[in-house]
Amino acid sequence: MSTSVYVRDVRREDIPAIVAVEDRTSGVSRPEYWAKRYEIAEALHPRWASLVAEADGRVVGFLFGHEGELEFGLPGTVAWVEIIGVDPAYRRRGIAAQLMETFVSNAEQNKVDSVLTLVDRRKPDMQGFFSKLGFEEGQMVYYQKELRR
């Protein structure tokens, strides 16, 4: 099923819709988190790095990212995709791909050298999604230390 989608910069009034999408996706409702997240994005990140997708007159997806230079010793300017979400009722309609295409296009226009993200190895669907968009597994390995179990 084809859905007409409009991707644009996120606005403060999108926060309740983003909270609702995350709630329908994960069963977690975090309005305070998203309000804070929006404030951080507005203050520290370029406007092009935080996006929403609208379909049928409402927000049905979102992407938050940021841009930086020489992060983790990576050469040049990089853009990170931090979180992407699509309302379960709108999945498999190309909305996540449109969000990513807009993010990558914005990054290119802003002279970013590389776009990166982290993917959980236990989620092959996410690995497949990013692979289809031309992403490849990078050379970096992340380390973690569990503080609470």
Distance CA 130, CA 17 (A): 25
> Could you read off the pLDDT of 19-47 as tens digits, one per residue?
999 999 999 999 999 999 999 988 888 88
> Could you read off the pLDDT of 47-78 as tens digits, one per residue?
899 999 999 999 999 999 999 887 777 778 99
Nearest alpha carbon to residue 51 among 30, 21, 26, 92? 21
Residue 2 has pLDDT above 80, yes or no: no
Q: Which residues of 96-134 are buried (b: 16+ CB within 10 A; e: fewer)?
A: bebbbebbbebbeeeebeebebebeeeeeebeebbeeee
